[in-house]
Structure 1
Amino acid sequence: MTLFQIALLAAAGFAASTINALAGGGTFVTFAALVASGLPTLDANATSAVALTPANLASVAAYRSEVRLHYREMIPFAILGLLGGVGGALLLIWIGDGGFRPLVPWLLLVATVMFALGDRIRKIVEPWSKGQHTVAKLVAYGVMAVVSIYGGFFGAGVGIMMLAALSIVTSDDYHKSNATKIVVAFLIQVVSSALLIAGGLVHWPQALVTIAASILGGYFGVSVARRIPAKIIRAAVVTIGAVLTVIFFIRT
């Protein structure tokens, strides 16, 4: 790697884990940086997933108060995350780079739209969260199961969908929802990363640079989440996602 690539990946890792601690979407940044550094799309996706896993652990540690207080309620979502992460990673390995590359612009488009409509999605599910209906809860668990598989496969946009589903069962407690999201995302990445490493898709020099920077961002990001409105970060993520979507549609 050149010094420029090292600096690019370090900046991307720090920014991505900070964004993930707030609302999700950091995968946009690391995926783009890894592709820009010369990795194939499949390898960039796998390396990004592995690189951001320690940062999610740092964010879990920063949210330790919420985790201790609500850990029993997090268990069902944690199980869904583990199972979904395995399923998504196995699917990714199975289709290979030839199958993954044509999907990239569409995955980026879906993830970008999710972020752009994040506030509207939460408004739609808000009446359900107040009623705490059994059907609403089943829908929340179903969405979390699907999102967990998607998280093991690609991951960009997974945070906003998790927050929307979790808002149904956690009412207006944003930090409870965000802590649960971070725990589940961490578990998804742990199991999917293990499979991606076993599949030989991870480029370790690039991963280690990103990991070192992302750990700092993962812990720092929670303090950002407590003070800065999510709209500011979300606008930046949507912009990045839109630009990447156009670029990959042109390249594909």
Structure 2
Amino acid sequence: MYALEAVAIGAAAVAAGGINAVVGSGTLITFPTLLAFGYPPVLANVSNTIGLVPGVISAVYGYRAELKGQLPRLLKLGLASLLGGVAGAVLLLKLSADTFRAAVPVLILLACVLVLLQPRLQKWLARRDSRGRQDGGIPLWTGVLATGVYGGYFGAAQGVLLMGLFGSFLRDDLQRLNAVKNVLAALVNGVAAVIFIAVTTVDWKAAGVIALGSTVGGLIGARVGRRLSPAVLRGLIVAVGVTAAIAVAV
């Protein structure tokens, strides 16, 4: 890995860590960056997933105050995320590289659409604040399971999906729900990372640079991310994501 490459990937990782803490779409920054430097899609996805785990954990730490009193919810939904993450990681390893390469543009564009829709999802969550159930029941658990499968397979914008689900089924403060989102994303990425480390090839230099950068970014995002313009963040994510989708497709 050349110095310029390491700096670029590290900078992307800092941005991704911060974005994951606040928005939940950091993969759309680091994954295209790895592709731009010639990493094969599956290797890029695996190394990126592993590298982003410390960043998501740092975001969880940054939101620790909002997690107080939520242990029962975390245990219930965490099981769904773990099971989904395992299933998604196995799918990535079992399906051919050509299948993943063909799916990547669609997944990236889907994630971009979800990022664009995030303001509407947040407004929906606010409108339903007094009407949602406290535990979400089986529908929420099933939705979190499906989101875990998606996250274990690719992962971009799984946080947006989770917040949309929370808006449908839960009644709670947005920041508390965002803290839960970070924990569930950490579980999905973490269990997928363990599987990838055990059975497939990892570019440890890239994963290490992303880990360092995303950890810093996660702490920054949890502390000051709410002060940044969401519109600017979404615009950057979508621009990078669409460019990556086109690059992979052609």
TM-score range, shorter chain: over 0.9
Which residue of structure 2 aligns with residue 23 of structure 1?
Answer: 23
Which residue of structure 1 aligns with residue 73 of structure 2?
Answer: 73
Cα distance, 1:229 vs structure 2: 4.3
Cα distance, 1:213 vs structure 2: 1.3
| Matched position secondary structure for 1:131 | coil
Give the whole-Å Cα distance in 2 for the aligned partners of 1:220 and 1:86. 29
Q: How does 1:100-111 map to 2 (within 5 A)?
A: 100-111=100-111
Question: For residue 198 of structure 2, what is the amino acid of its counterpart?
Answer: A
Give the whole-Å Cα distance in 2 for the aligned partners of 1:172 and 1:228. 23
Percent identity of paired positions between Structure 1 and Structure 2 = 31
Cα distance, 1:139 vs structure 2: 3.2
CA contact (8 A) 1:126 1:168 kept: no
Cα distance, 1:71 vs structure 2: 2.2
Which residue of structure 2 aligns with residue 40 of structure 1?
Answer: 40
Give the whole-Å Cα distance in 1 for the aligned partners of 2:120 and 2:126. 10
Question: For residue 61 of structure 2, what is the amino acid of its counterpart?
Answer: A
Residues 1:117 and 1:86: Cα distance change in structure 2 (over 3 Å): same
Which residue of structure 2 aligns with residue 84 of structure 1?
Answer: 84
TM-score (normalizing by structure 1): 0.92
Which residue of structure 1 aligns with residue 121 of structure 2?
Answer: 121
CA contact (8 A) 1:141 1:165 kept: no
Q: How does 1:153-192 map to 2 (within 5 A)?
A: 153-171=153-171, 173-192=173-192
CA contact (8 A) 1:23 1:160 kept: yes
Which residue of structure 1 aligns with residue 140 of structure 2?
Answer: 140
Which residue of structure 2 aligns with residue 245 of structure 1?
Answer: 245
Question: For residue 55 of structure 2, what is the amino acid of its counterpart?
Answer: A
Give the whole-Å Cα distance in 2 for the aligned partners of 1:34 and 1:94. 22
Cα distance, 1:37 vs structure 2: 2.1
Give the whole-Å Cα distance in 1 for the aligned partners of 2:124 and 2:142. 16
Q: Count residues in correspondence.
A: 250
Which residue of structure 2 aligns with residue 234 of structure 1?
Answer: 234
Structure 2 gap segments, 5+ residues each: none
| Matched position secondary structure for 2:228 | coil
Cα deviation digits, residues 152-199 of structure 1 (max 9, x gap): 000011111111112334435111111000000001111100111122
Give the whole-Å Cα distance in 1 for the aligned partners of 2:171 and 2:23. 17
Which residue of structure 2 aligns with residue 149 of structure 1?
Answer: 149
The structure whose residues are more often helix, as a share, is 1
Structure 1 gap segments, 5+ residues each: none
| Matched position secondary structure for 1:130 | coil
Question: For residue 149 of structure 2, what is the amino acid of its counterpart?
Answer: I
Give the whole-Å Cα distance in 2 for the aligned partners of 1:174 and 1:124. 11
Give the whole-Å Cα distance in 2 for the aligned partners of 1:117 and 1:172. 20
Question: For residue 73 of structure 2, what is the amino acid of its counterpart?
Answer: E
Residues 1:217 and 1:161: Cα distance change in structure 2 (over 3 Å): same
CA contact (8 A) 1:89 1:196 kept: yes
